[in-house]
Structure 1
Amino acid sequence: MAFFSIIEGRKLLAVILCIGFFLLLIQPFSLAEFNKVELHWRVIETPHFLIHYHEGEEVFAQESARIAEEVYPSITSDLGYFPIPKIPIIIENISDITGGYTSLLVGKIVIQAQSDPARTSGTLSWPREVIAHELTHLVMIAALGESILPLRRIMGSLVLPMWFIEGLAQFEAEEWHSLKEMQVGQASREGKVLSEGDLGAFYFFDGSGRTAGYYQSDSFVRYIFQTYGRDKIAGILSHLRRQPIFQLVGEVSLVSGEGLLYPSPRFLSFNEALVEVIGKDSSTLYAEWRNWIEEKYPSQRESEDLLLLPGKLLVSWGKRSQHPVFSPRGDRIAFVSNQGYDYAIFDLYLMDLRTRKMKKLDRMVDPYFSFSPEGDKIIYAKTRFYPSSRAFLTDLYEVDVESGRMRRLTFGLRASEPSFSPDGKRALLVKNEGGNSNLFLLNMSTGEVLPLTHDKDGLTQNFSPSFSPEGDRIVFVSSRRGQRDIYLLDLEAQKIISLTSDEADDRSPVFSPDGKRVYFISNREDGIFNLFSLDPEEGEAIRQHTRVDSGVFEPNISPDGERILVSAYKDGKFSLYLLSLEDLIEVKLSNHNGGKAQSLQVEYREEGAGRKIYPSFSYHPSLKLHYILPWFSFGPEGSFFSLEGYASDYLERHNLHFSTLLGEDIQYDLSYLNRAFQPTLWGNLYKVRGYRIFRTILYPT
């Protein structure tokens, strides 16, 4: 690391080699987002986008390019603005994290090429939801002004309420699906709808509050624009774009009579835009929406109270107690809970069903695991930072339930959702690669990993695998072509067959102990997640076993086939219930629509596999000036002009930050950060004199 300095006219060149700098490189907080010099990047150019991707992600990048172009017309039309430059989208699959974000000042979108399908619902593909969500953010802020002078964009980010920013992104990117209906409906029934103030700042809450904020904001925005017209979105943004951001302020001294006139920033007014475009302010619209949802969601049905009784409640810790699993003897259960953490951080627990005593087995685990056949060990996944890879990767661990001794099984495998085979010699895994989730089989003795599904379309997700009692079949969920269905994989016949094939959202399949039925969760009746089952061999009618208003999830049947564990959403959180199979209803529904058998080697692709392939070229970094912040100050104590700016290439390999102050003398600070090598290089050229200001008098320091 080198510092180049000019101080008070005397040149000083100092080169400092800092060993601590290299130590910082192994810490996750010091990592540059794209400081992976071994990766080779390419760029796909479309009419409106520049899709950046590294090796291994070309299929997903092409799919992302097509999706971005598909959603671009509707989003820009709704928002009434068409960005001038082509929009950079960065596709990366370096760490085992999901989602995406928008850099508003830089004007780029970053997408992680992995998904968590259990957290979403609806018929839209996960890349479509993420890309459309982030594109809405970018176009909305660009609609306020694309000048390199970012003051209007900064003001917009500060004054626009979160319910409008995130609700609009949800409205444009996602459907109103069953998970949203479940959580918003129950919040309304229980009087837990967020206040207008909380809805405007929910991003500062914990994970549970943020989830409620996202879903309720979506409902609020849908109500406004479905009631008053979708064209009002563009009208609101256009009004904000026209509002002045400066105003003249005058001051007159009552003693001397002297006057002073100077410009002052003026904050944008969201309420002013609402009144002008819709005719009502934010508080009035919020009150209307609040009354609307309270009328929409009636009181709970009696049937739910008859099933999820207090006496059946097993665990209700934190906001999420989930994924309950019986031990092979049925005398204990394991589960995860986020007690003491934010919304999506879990600890692994073991409970004795007879004494109800519990103990913690491990901290900060992924929420899917499996008992060994003997019940003495649990296999699970954890995501941890890898210093050598400079990334967060997911690996498998094993814990002894008696001693608590842990053992790491894999190193850099990037696998999750492990499930033991009945003989304990193999384990099912899920790996995320190229936008797809596929199933793999791990040999517990040799460590050999074999693929079971081979989807490579950048969209299909295979997850939630579970062995049959004999170990010759596997049930899992596959999300493809806008559907989430239950599939059966026959290991001996090397075939895959769909057990359900319809528009319902089916998830969490498990075999009964005798292997004759598959229990699963679905929203196929009334759009509410309930428990169902089917016979995987005979093709008889699907049977419904619960009818609750809130939702049940993640069933697990006891080894004796007499009890069932579920995670139920009630009172605004997920809790564990222990039910008798005799407590359940049994209602026959229509025959399930299974598909024909397919070879294990088949690669499922979206319809229209011959869609357009966009050209690509090697990435060559070039600096782009992202913003300049000028500032003037005039006063009796002195006047000055300051200028601050930032430039970089889209992968942030080269970063230039500069600031200058023109007053009594010239001061400046120029910093350059190079992330194209290992280690990172940093140069700093500056001439700075500090000041302290007290009672309007300047004191040089």
Structure 2
Amino acid sequence: MHFRSFIFCLAFIGFFSWIFPQVTYNHPELNWKTFETDHFMIHFYDGTEHSAREGAVVAENIYPFVTDLYDYAPQVKTHIIFTDTDDIANGAAYYYDNKIIIWTMPLDFELRGSHRWLQNVITHEFTHIVSMQKAMKAGLKYPGAYLQYMGYEDEKREDVLYGFPNTLVSYPLPGTAVPPWLAEGTAQFMYEGADYDNWDTHRDMILRDRVLHDNLLTLTEMNTFGKSGIGNESTYNSGYALCRYIAVKHGSEKLRMIMEDLSHPFQYSIDNAIEKVTGLSGKELYNNYKNVLEKRYDLLTETMRENEQKGKILISDGTTNLHPVWSPDGKRFAYISNKNNDYFGQTDLFIYTIDTKAEEKISDGVKSSPAWHPDGNIIYYTKKPKNPDKTGSKYFDLFEYRFEAEEETRLTKGTRAFSPVFIPSDSSIVFIATKDGSQNLHQFDFKRNIIRKLTDFDNHKIIHSLFYDSVKEWLIFDHTDHHFRNIGYLSLKDSTYGDFLNNALWDERDMTVSASGKIVYSDDRSGIFNLYQIDEESDGQGYITNVTGGAFMPDVNANGEILYSLYENGGYKIAFLDSVNWIDEGNVGYSSTYFLRNENIQPPLLEQDTSIASTYEDNFPPMFILPKIMADYGTVKPGFYFYSSEILERLTLFGG
């Protein structure tokens, strides 16, 4: 597993690379099943069957489009494995094994927009399979080769034939040489006309922000991962943008032709491959692309830069400062941040005091929005425990921290809890949880120590942030059924459910309600996420921020002061509005009608495959051979390594 994870595997999001160095488990407790479609072998267990059957339909739908673009189809059926053994939202393409792993938990990532999960991730990973196999230099059987040298110390005694080895050189010759920006860019582009993933407002925000701050990744920087902050995601983002540029300017077939040229045995230069295909050197192509971006964003942001309104930045350390939540007395606020950490997702819980500007770290590894107890002495949040459960899984659970005792307590086990809110009327906590790709609301009763399921969505609806309106007794939440978030509600009085804000052409999210009844949320109808306020008493409404990055996750205290998360200059910061001024809509974002570009989006893929499944049988891909030639004490020694791993990773064989 580890041998291949960094060599022959590509993932849906970049932080995948620091998930797998941990101890992994093959979960022998699971009873795996299999069914076949025309082009795929689908593997699942009872806890992932719904996802597998929808995923099979997705895979067959997108198969002809991906294979037509690259004029290539896998030689045998591609394996797709659906698993839900950890709170991970990702996918991975093992292109030499010809297999895909899909974690059924849907992606909710602050650097990408919201899209229906399975149609997005399966198309992405299958594009990896096809495009990377197209670029292979020696086929599936030979992933690479090695040139090696062994050196020795000079002998010091007559009875010593060889000195002690003191030099070992091993130079790999990869069987596939595709730079990360191209591999990930083509996977996100998918194929001409695909929109299961698309150039959404978040992607545009990251690229625009880099251009406006003169921080666009160079072509060399795009060629590597291993970056901190938003760096790895920027490789994905910039690669997607450049591949879109190539497809629009030169034709999408040029992506195939570049991969084809990289398959030649001695072609290891992306610059040469680009020049052969487009007639432009890599540097010339990149400079043309950069010039287009600079002119575009300079023109589109001119008005908003002249009329910027963002308030005061309170927290700027780190690249991930999210989910600010006022304390009940309005004197402090909680938020999560990756300050003092390297990666975007390594967030901890902090408390910031307004008057003194002092802050305190409360807990490590906290995800999603925290929730205060009304007395201000307890805060609730979610994180993974330090140790896995008996089967090796690690799920997010509810925790509380008591300020007076300075003590953290774990409240639940295995609940997969996110985004808790406290319900004062019955001292309970409502949270979001995931099972087989569908998300639902659950209620944890402190008094009886039981959990009750409040909703029963089974259509892979993605639920995002939660807010409790104590006046209406509504649970307010974001949800995604296809593209873009809408804002729904669930009444705790009569269990009625509906949508409060629902527009098919733009994203509405992160709704909060002030003590005076004013509604604040974030939307991107103008092409940029900004905060929007609705005053139901006066029937007035309008934008209250105008930023060049993005404004998200507002929270309002009793005085009407607003905290929110501002994306600017390569990271999320905590910003503060002490008063509200509505802004002329004509000055906000790109255009008041920018959302019309979303009118022709394709419908979602919702059908379920009904094929009969059978018990899974062990399945090994062909043995991989990695030839080697070693110069050892004046002798040339040819040889090889061999490697194979069972499709579910239940058995691995390696030798040489």
Contact in 1 for aligned 2:397/2:411 (Cα 8 Å):
yes
Would the alpha carbon gap of residues 631 and 587 (structure 1) be closer, same or farther in structure 2, given more than 3 Å must change? Answer: closer
Task: Quote the residue 1:662 is aligned against.
Answer: none
Task: Quote the residue 2:475 is aligned against.
Answer: 474
Instruction: Provide the secondary structure at the position in 2 that maps to 1:368.
Output: strand
Alignment pair present for 1:167 and 2:202: no
Task: Quote the residue 1:113 is aligned against.
Answer: 104
2:562 maps to which of 561, 564, 576: 564
- 2:222 alignment partner AA: L
Shifted more, 61-70 versus 294-303: the winner is 294-303
Q: Distance in 1 between matches of 2:213 and 2:527?
A: 20
Task: Quote the residue 1:270 is aligned against.
Answer: 270
Q: Return the index of the structure with the highest Cα Rg.
A: 1
Task: Quote the residue 2:12 is aligned against.
Answer: none
Q: Distance in 1 between matches of 2:22 and 2:485?
A: 39
- 2:337 alignment partner AA: S
Task: Quote the residue 2:357 is aligned against.
Answer: 356
* Post-superposition CA distance 1:290-348 (Å, at most 9, x none): 11111111175565676656x71211111121111111111111111110111111111
Task: Quote the residue 1:42 is aligned against.
Answer: 33
Would the alpha carbon gap of residues 226 and 307 (structure 1) be closer, same or farther in structure 2, given more than 3 Å must change? Answer: closer
Unaligned runs of 5+ in 2: 1-18, 147-171, 191-195, 593-602
Would the alpha carbon gap of residues 610 and 405 (structure 1) be closer, same or farther in structure 2, given more than 3 Å must change? Answer: closer
Task: Quote the residue 2:390 is aligned against.
Answer: 388
CA apart distance, 1:117: 2.5
Q: Give 1:255-294 correspondences, 5 Å limit.
A: 266-294=266-294
Contact in 2 for aligned 1:373/1:423 (Cα 8 Å):
no
Alignment pair present for 1:649 and 2:646: yes
* Post-superposition CA distance 1:258-311 (Å, at most 9, x none): xxxxxxxx45343333222211121111111111111111175565676656x7
CA apart distance, 1:609: 6.2
CA apart distance, 1:137: 1.6
Task: Quote the residue 1:434 is aligned against.
Answer: 436
Contact in 2 for aligned 1:469/1:511 (Cα 8 Å):
no
* Post-superposition CA distance 1:533-583 (Å, at most 9, x none): 3468x99685332232211010000123x2111111112211111112334
- 1:209 alignment partner AA: G
Task: Quote the residue 2:155 is aligned against.
Answer: none
Q: Give 1:442-457 correspondences, 5 Å limit.
A: 442-457=444-459
Task: Quote the residue 1:208 is aligned against.
Answer: 230
- 1:407 alignment partner AA: T
Would the alpha carbon gap of residues 106 and 232 (structure 1) be closer, same or farther in structure 2, given more than 3 Å must change? Answer: same
Would the alpha carbon gap of residues 642 and 555 (structure 1) be closer, same or farther in structure 2, given more than 3 Å must change? Answer: same
CA apart distance, 1:59: 0.6
CA apart distance, 1:79: 2.0
Would the alpha carbon gap of residues 123 and 355 (structure 1) be closer, same or farther in structure 2, given more than 3 Å must change? Answer: closer
Alignment pair present for 1:551 and 2:550: yes
Instruction: Provide the secondary structure at the position in 2 that maps to 1:59.
Output: helix
2:239 maps to which of 199, 204, 217: 217
CA apart distance, 1:216: 1.4
Contact in 2 for aligned 1:81/1:234 (Cα 8 Å):
no
Q: Distance in 1 between matches of 2:236 and 2:391?
A: 34
1:187 maps to which of 210, 222, 227: 210
Instruction: Provide the secondary structure at the position in 1 that maps to 2:384.
Output: strand
Instruction: Provide the secondary structure at the position in 2 that maps to 1:232.
Output: helix
Alignment pair present for 1:148 and 2:141: yes
Q: Distance in 1 between matches of 2:216 and 2:521?
A: 30
1:513 maps to which of 486, 494, 515: 515
Aligned-residue sequence identity (percent) comes to 26
Instruction: Provide the secondary structure at the position in 2 that maps to 1:271.
Output: helix
CA apart distance, 1:440: 1.0
Alignment pair present for 1:74 and 2:65: yes
Aligned residues: 588
Q: Distance in 1 between matches of 2:22 and 2:319?
A: 32
* Post-superposition CA distance 1:615-644 (Å, at most 9, x none): 322101133324112335689933433132
Would the alpha carbon gap of residues 175 and 610 (structure 1) be closer, same or farther in structure 2, given more than 3 Å must change? Answer: closer
- 1:641 alignment partner AA: P
CA apart distance, 1:77: 1.7
Instruction: Provide the secondary structure at the position in 1 that maps to 2:29.
Output: coil
Task: Quote the residue 1:329 is aligned against.
Answer: 329
* Post-superposition CA distance 1:118-138 (Å, at most 9, x none): 536557412222212221222
Contact in 1 for aligned 2:314/2:576 (Cα 8 Å):
yes
Q: Give 1:618-657 correspondences, 5 Å limit.
A: 618-632=615-629, 637-657=634-654
CA apart distance, 1:608: 8.0
1:407 maps to which of 406, 409, 418: 409
Would the alpha carbon gap of residues 120 and 322 (structure 1) be closer, same or farther in structure 2, given more than 3 Å must change? Answer: closer
CA apart distance, 1:391: 1.6
Would the alpha carbon gap of residues 30 and 365 (structure 1) be closer, same or farther in structure 2, given more than 3 Å must change? Answer: closer
Alignment pair present for 1:463 and 2:464: yes
Q: Distance in 2 between matches of 1:165 and 1:289?
A: 18
Instruction: Provide the secondary structure at the position in 1 that maps to 2:396.
Output: strand
CA apart distance, 1:104: 3.2
Task: Quote the residue 2:162 is aligned against.
Answer: none
Instruction: Provide the secondary structure at the position in 2 that maps to 1:554.
Output: strand
Contact in 1 for aligned 2:534/2:540 (Cα 8 Å):
yes
Unaligned runs of 5+ in 1: 1-26, 246-265, 591-605, 660-701
TM-score, normalisation: structure 2: 0.84
CA apart distance, 1:611: 5.0
Would the alpha carbon gap of residues 98 and 539 (structure 1) be closer, same or farther in structure 2, given more than 3 Å must change? Answer: farther
- 1:420 alignment partner AA: F
Task: Quote the residue 1:131 is aligned against.
Answer: 122
Q: Distance in 2 between matches of 1:86 and 1:280?
A: 37
- 2:57 alignment partner AA: R
Q: Give 1:583-598 correspondences, 5 Å limit.
A: 583-585=581-583
1:575 maps to which of 573, 576, 584: 573
Q: Distance in 1 between matches of 2:114 and 2:345?
A: 24
1:615 maps to which of 593, 599, 612: 612
Shifted more, 405-414 versus 152-161: the winner is 152-161
CA root-mean-square deviation: 2.8
Q: Distance in 2 between matches of 1:157 and 1:322?
A: 42
- 2:482 alignment partner AA: R
CA apart distance, 1:197: 0.9
Contact in 1 for aligned 2:132/2:183 (Cα 8 Å):
no
Alignment pair present for 1:89 and 2:80: yes
Would the alpha carbon gap of residues 314 and 633 (structure 1) be closer, same or farther in structure 2, given more than 3 Å must change? Answer: closer
Higher strand residue share: 1
Q: Distance in 2 between matches of 1:587 and 1:28?
A: 47
CA apart distance, 1:653: 1.3
Q: Distance in 2 between matches of 1:584 and 1:386?
A: 49
Would the alpha carbon gap of residues 236 and 177 (structure 1) be closer, same or farther in structure 2, given more than 3 Å must change? Answer: same
Task: Quote the residue 1:376 is aligned against.
Answer: 377
Q: Distance in 2 between matches of 1:216 and 1:37?
A: 40
Would the alpha carbon gap of residues 330 and 636 (structure 1) be closer, same or farther in structure 2, given more than 3 Å must change? Answer: closer
Would the alpha carbon gap of residues 390 and 642 (structure 1) be closer, same or farther in structure 2, given more than 3 Å must change? Answer: same
Task: Quote the residue 1:417 is aligned against.
Answer: 419
Shifted more, 337-346 versus 269-278: the winner is 269-278
* Post-superposition CA distance 1:188-209 (Å, at most 9, x none): 01100011211111x1211411
Q: Distance in 2 between matches of 1:540 and 1:614?
A: 53
Shifted more, 170-179 versus 59-68: the winner is 170-179
Task: Quote the residue 2:94 is aligned against.
Answer: 103
Contact in 2 for aligned 1:78/1:231 (Cα 8 Å):
yes
- 1:104 alignment partner AA: Y
Q: Distance in 2 between matches of 1:483 and 1:318?
A: 27
